[in-house]
Amino acid sequence: MQFKKVTHVIFDLDGLLIDSEKLYTEAFETVCSKYGKIFTWEIKASLLGFQGYECADKIIKELNLPLTREEFMTECQTIYERVFKNVELMPGAQKLVEHLYRKGVPIALATSSSQDSVDMKMQNHKSFLNYFHHCIMGSSDPDVTKGKPDPAIFIVCASRFPDKPAHENCLVFEDAINGVKAACAANMQVVAVPDPRIDREQLKNATLVLNSLEEFQPELFGLPNYD
């Protein structure tokens, strides 16, 4: 075994288990272009892992959009309702999550999204959510006092497993720099599965960096192997 043994696993959602980041990008590009602005990869990279209202504020400020936070979010919401119906699971997500569930490894979700947003994105993947013991939704959970990169979301997530695992026994899966920082700050090991455009240097604190969930080898962390 190459890394410290873990007993519980916590997953991010957007860009990690579901291919939703490209749909957020599509929505932001559409709204920005309406006002003659270009939503670039550099702006996108600075938003990963932040809550919705924080992203809105950053985009408005960066591109000097003539919109309030509410106006921007309302325009995006209209697009989300159209595009998120078709969001797909990321490669390897179904296999890994189902495997851990069937082997009795406690797993949970920790997403910066709100309940409404998760409901919208997972409308065609409801049974997938049943694998998780619980789901922490940062934007609508009163116990999550600060968003990633603050560790609050992962600390709250660990505390809601009935056996309250020590943080060093939890493994986090994340796609965002902010999420990796949050997991490290919570003293958890973290597997990063980033967008290939993310600078790997910024993920140097991750325990392991993979190109896809399909590459994950559970036995490296003392988890039951695939049959």
- Which span (66-74, 118-126, 172-180, 217-225) binds Mg ion, by CB under 5 A? 172-180
Which one is catalytic: 14, 141, 175, 199? 14
Report the residue from 67, 75, 175, 178 that binds Mg ion according to the rule CB under 5 A.
Answer: 175
Residue burial 79-116, b: 16+ Cβ < 10 Å; e: rest:
bbeebbeebebbebbeebbebbbeeebbbbbbbbbbee
28 Cβ contact partners less than 8 Å away, ≥ 6 residues apart: 39, 43, 44, 55, 59, 76
- Which span (8-16, 78-86, 95-103, 144-152) binds Mg ion, by CB under 5 A? 8-16
* Of 99, 95, 98, nearest in space to 129 by CA: 98
Taken in order 36, 114, 21, 192, the sign of the CA dihedral is positive
**Size of residue set near Mg ion by CB under 5 A:** 6
For residue 192, state whether it binds Mg ion (rule: CB under 5 A): no
If you search the block for the tokens 């936070």, which residue do you land on? 69
Catalytic, 119? Answer: no
* Of 186, 182, 171, 147, nearest in space to 221 by CA: 171
For residue 15, state whether it binds Mg ion (rule: CB under 5 A): yes
Minimum distance from residue 71 beta carbon to Mg ion (Å): 25
Which one is catalytic: 12, 19, 57, 175? 12
For residue 14, state whether it binds Mg ion (rule: CB under 5 A): yes
- Under 8 Å between Cβ of 158 and 133: no
Minimum distance from residue 163 beta carbon to Mg ion (Å): 26
For residue 176, state whether it binds Mg ion (rule: CB under 5 A): yes
Catalytic, 57? Answer: no
- Which span (15-23, 85-93, 152-160, 182-190) binds Mg ion, by CB under 5 A? 15-23
> CA angle, corner 145, sides to 71 and 143, nearest 5?
115
Active site positions, annotated: 12, 14
The residues that touch Mg ion, with contacts defined as CB under 5 A, are 12, 14-16, 175-176
